[in-house]
Amino acid sequence: MASVNGVANREPTNAMQATSPRVQNGRKLPQNGFHRGVASTPQPKSSYEQVPLHTACFTYLGFYLLMILGTDAHGYINQLFFTPKVATEKHRDGYVPLYDAFEKFYLRYVYRRVKDCWNRPICSVPGSEVVLKDRITKDYGWSFEFTGTETKCLNLGSYNYLGFAQNEGPCADESEECIRTHGLAACSPRRELGTNPLHNELEALTAKFLGVEDAIVFGMGFATNSLNIPTLISPGCLVVSDEKNHASIILGLRLSGATPKVFKHNNMKDLERVLRDSITTGQPGSGKPWKKILIIVEGVFSMEGSIVKLPEIIALKKKYKAYIYLDEAHSIGATGPSGRGVLDYYGVDPNDVDILMGTFTKSFGSAGGYIAGTKGCG
């Protein structure tokens, strides 16, 4: 067989049957499942710098010594033998504590010392540049004083990927006009009196942009995952989740009652192992076949920045008769030639992903989220 980028092509397996090329937005879509052939240019591989073992050991050693001994007379040893000098509420006998002992110590004596590295107040919109309000602390982070000065910095930590969250320009002007015309909110759930023509227009526009049959929008991105996943799966279902998935996905899995299985981050061999073993053993206790198998991954993982190997997951989905739930919170709008997320990035057919989830809070500089796909899915 001819080689692509020095790697020999393989014949399609049963899970990756060859079909005629499909067309979307004027360009041919290659056959899913061929990870080395889905894009016109080679896709970059994720790579992470490996920390030497001795560096990691000495770093952790210094960190734990700081926790145990402390540097401002409030170390862990002092907390064990002396009454803490921090402010505590009185008359709270019988109340459930907000934090356990270690969590309370960690927040007060570890996190407090370093939180100013990222918990910085700003006085501008999160554009390409951001203005910080300067402040100082004289008591290791217990309190802060503003100096009255400001510092303009490059913004490398915002989700405002496309710069839509500005206080001037077309987006701001359209938002202001929309608020003047329609108001801020309906003050009612959508199922009662809260559905606005703008909701229907947004859902139709979202579905058209993604290239799927329909979409439904929600007012909160986190809840789009945590409250919709339980409607898709239930006890007796298997959920195979990437170990780096977002907390909103984890909460949704816990609420669903389904059986969760975790595979190594972006490791397709481990994903197939989990699928194969879970199908072989069946439901815990009874051994019955699973009612439904759902693979949940993120397009661009929020904490790692890595891109999911979507074509290979689609191939496994077809091989093991599973469904795919793709969280595109960080990839929609910012990934792919036309900004349509990792499906656009790899050039795969949107209909090969059963559930598309995304938010409007990142690239689109707004609020809420969406669920999109075919009407009959699930």
Name the DSSP class of 190. Answer: I
Q: Given 74, 309, 317, 362, which residue is catalytic?
A: 362
Q: In terms of Cα–Cα distance, which of 225, 286, 227, 221 is closest to 259?
A: 286
Please say if 302 is a catalytic residue: yes
CA distance 249 to 98: 24
Catalytic entry in 246, 309, 317, 330: 330
Tokens of 17: 């049957």
Active-site pick, 302, 309, 318, 331: 302
CA distance 239 to 246: 14
Per-residue burial over 173-209, b = 16 or more CB atoms within 10 Å of its CB, e = otherwise: eeeeeeeeeeeeeeeeeeeeeeeeeeeeebbeebbeb
The structure tokens listed for 81 are: 């033998």
Q: Cα-flanking dihedrals φ and ψ of residue 369, to 5°?
A: -150, 180
CB 347 within 8 A of CB 70: no
Cβ count near 40 (within 10 Å): 9
Instruction: Pick the closest to residue 225 from 355, 373, 332 (CA basis).
Output: 355
Residues 6 or more apart from 177 whose CB is under 8 A from it?
A: none
In total, the chain counts a number of residues equal to: 378
- Lookup: tokens for 338: 């036309």
Catalytic residue IDs: 302, 330, 362
